[in-house]
Amino acid sequence: MFPTNHKTIFVLDHTPYFGISSDFPIDFDVSKSRGAGYVPLPPICKSLWTCSVEASVEYCRIVWDLFPEGKLVRFIVSDAAAHILNTWALAQQNLTHILNGLCLVGPVRRGAGGDVVGLCAAIESLAEASPIQSSRPSTERLFQNRGRIICITSARDDDSIRSLAEIALNTLVQQNKKASAAQPPTTTDASTSTQSLVVHYCHLVIINVTPEKAETRVNNQPLTEMGGGLMGVEVIVCRASTLANLLGKLVLPHYRLAITTVTGIPMKEEQNASSSANYDVEIIHSAEAHAGLRASQTAAEATESVVLRWWTPRGAEGGAGGCNGPLWRVTPADVASRPSACLVNFLLNGRSVTLEVPTRKAGCRSASHVLAAQGGELWIGALGGRTPYEDPPALSEGAGGRVTDYRIKEFGALMQQNKIHPLRGIGSNTRARTKLQRHTTYWPLTISSTLIFNLGSVMEPLTRLVVQESLTEDEVETCRGVLLSLLGMETRHEFPSAQLPANLRGKSSGRREEQWRQVWGELEALVRAHSNSSPHRALLRTLLECRSHNHSNEGESSRATVIRATTDSPLSPVGAGNGNGDVWAPRNALDALLGAPRPPRRPDFAGRLTAGNRIATLYPQMQQDVETQN
């Protein structure tokens, strides 16, 4: 249940020996000599302590970048006493905490003591339950408690290493005895987190660090089992200068990770922004990400870094768009390098990039992985072969595919109006949906199914304003102006289609009266659909006035009422106008929220359907009956 890498403990040797220099000079005056008389800086060497700290911290960085939870690392600094820098608590599992602790420990001081204290403390720490382990109900306490101890020290010879391992094993055995003895009474109140667990397996990695030229009598020792499989001991001898490299390699098998080298990343030069050079960046991620490549790889190749080439994304094509599989977290192997930082920033900005397997064959590319950011973290995903949705059916052959006069431009405008933005606070989604709901209340899909939306500037102020949540007095007035000008056009016996763009004019057929009836009908549907607020209802009354006027014979009296109605104050109470019987509006907030301000539809008169544009006759059967009788 809990793998060995659930718990890792670094034991760092802080004894006086680690204060000595690594004898690996770093020269600061690398490039330009600045003329005569310029005294070069003496090269400096890190101490063994500095080397072991930076290497182990780097190991941690990789672990924590890739596994924000579930993989725990602790630090124990060992000199005369064991300084425990952090606990298993999640709040202490971060680099800042460790670095602060290291500051307090300070550089190596004189004094006695050795790594034994730290190693014993480490084994005791392994017995402490991690937060996840202690959150298990006591009935499920039968999990395997395993862990790894990485001890960075320096021993005289193989014998002292062996005695170190034996001390560790003895401590472990004693520790387990205590823990299992304490087990029976604690089963009753197992909730206490202080209870120590039996350690089922401990992987002890002893890294023997020496300065550059020092002789050592310690030899590498492969993983050997001790104490009947209770402990596995591994000894690695290493120069201080290569310690970081060593731990960088060790972290891979410990957490089943692999390295991908992204090659050929084009980057602008700092000095010379017009040109770009290609860089390589190494990234670390779960070894599973390479599973797809393994088919074409030998075992040796799979453990090596896999080289994949950067495939510059073009537009929306490629990128994470092609990935629909699992994702693994990614962290750069060399976090401080400029190319790494560039790549990380590129991805964090929401761009993604496809990686391809470099092939020698020209013109043949095979995308294999994709890198992208998500949640402020970097991820790698593998691209599969085919997708089940490839070769889709043509949209033009499906439903609605052969309609050619969709109002695409208008819908584009609607999309622009309904663009969403990052806001603060809850309910933003709901507001966006309400707005869309308003904007689409009356929205014919095709050009041929509407007249009013094709009338352009004559109609535009009204169609634009009416979708608003509420209207100001001026806006109602503008809309009234539109209605009145339409009325004027109609009384001048103009065709509404005269306003249409030339290419549409031919299409709208029908007699003039027919067209006007459609215009008024559509307008009514549009305004009625928005009659939620009182200004809207006032507008609707005006519209109904205009319409009723339109359908009655032109008489002075009706004209007068139209004028009165149009000058009606928008603030006048509902029903003040004489068209109040016609105005249908939602009664309560629920109706308004449901956005269903629609007149209940009655099935259309069957006779009209068959009659088409002609006048429908009533009771045709009676006529037939009479004829048959005759």
Q: Are 387 and 324 in contact, with CB atoms under 8 Å apart? A: yes
Please pick, from the candidates 9, 238, 251, 382, the single residue that binds another protein as defined by CB under 8 A.
382
CA 260 – CA 343 distance, rounded (Å): 13
Measured on CA atoms in the order 310, 311, 312, 317, is the torsion positive or negative? Answer: negative
Find the shortest distance in angstroms from Cβ 456 to another protein.
19
Which listed range, 45-53, 271-279, 487-495, 613-621, lies at the site for another protein (CB under 8 A)?
A: 45-53
CB of 611 to another protein, least distance (A): 11
Q: Contact between 535 and another protein (CB under 8 A)? A: no
CA 219 from chain centre, in angstroms, equals 48
CA dist., res. 161 & res. 318, Å (int): 54
State the nearest-atom distance from the C-beta of 595 to another protein, in Å: 7
User: Looking up tokens 């339109």, which residue turns up?
Assistant: 550
The nearer residue to another protein, 423 or 563, going by C-beta atoms, is 423
Q: Rounded to whole angstroms, how far apart are CA atoms 259 and 304?
A: 7
Q: Which of residues 96-125 bind another protein (CB under 8 A)?
A: 96, 99-100, 102-108
Please tell me the distance from the alpha carbon of residue 596 to that of residue 437, in angstroms, as a whole number: 10
Residue closer to another protein (CB basis): 80 or 291: 291
Contact between 502 and another protein per CB under 8 A = no
Contact between 361 and another protein per CB under 8 A: no
Q: How far is the CB of 208 from another protein (least distance, A)?
A: 19
Stretch that binds another protein, among 157-165, 200-208, 393-401, 542-550 (CB under 8 A): 393-401
Closer residue to another protein in complex, CB, 137/427 = 427
Contact call for residue 50 and another protein (CB under 8 A) = yes
Does position 387 interact with another protein (CB under 8 A)? The reply is yes
The residue among 184, 179, 181 whose CA lies nearest residue 196 is 179
Would you call 517 helix, strand, or coil by DSSP? Answer: helix
Q: Is 390 in the site for another protein (CB under 8 A)?
A: yes
Residues in region 272-291 near another protein by CB under 8 A: 288, 291
CA 582 to chain centre: 51
Interface characters, 61-90, with another protein (x: CB under 8 A): x--xx-------------------------
From the list 277-285, 366-374, 456-464, 541-549, the region that binds another protein by CB under 8 A is: 366-374
User: Of how many residues is the chain composed?
Assistant: 630
Q: Does 244 bind another protein (CB under 8 A)?
A: yes
533 binds another protein (CB under 8 A): no
Question: Would you say 563 and 480 are in contact if contact means Cβ atoms under 8 Å apart?
Answer: no
Cα–Cα distance measured from residue 560 to residue 324, given in angstroms and rounded to the nearest whole number: 68
Residues 606-625 that bind another protein (CB under 8 A): 609-610
297 binds another protein (CB under 8 A): no
> Between residue 399 and residue 458, which ones bind another protein under the rule CB under 8 A?
399-403, 406-409, 411-412, 414-416, 418-429, 431-433, 435-446, 449-450
Which of these segments, 117-125, 259-267, 385-393, 583-591, binds another protein (CB under 8 A)? 385-393
Which of helix, strand or coil describes residue 218?
coil
Return the H-helix or E-strand segment holding 537.
Answer: helix 534-551
Shortest distance in whole angstroms from residue 229 CB to another protein: 25
Find all residues with CB under 8 Å of 111, minimum gap 6, and list them. Answer: 15, 16, 79, 80
Rg (CA), the chain: 40
DSSP 43: P
Stretch that binds another protein, among 265-273, 325-333, 532-540, 583-591 (CB under 8 A): 325-333
Strand arrangement of the beta sheet that strand 201-210 belongs to: 82-84, 72-78, 7-13, 146-153, 201-210, 231-239, 221-226
601 binds another protein (CB under 8 A): yes
Q: Is residue 261 within the footprint of another protein (CB under 8 A)? A: no
Q: Report the largest interatomic distance among the alpha carbons of the chain, rounded to a whole angstrom.
A: 132
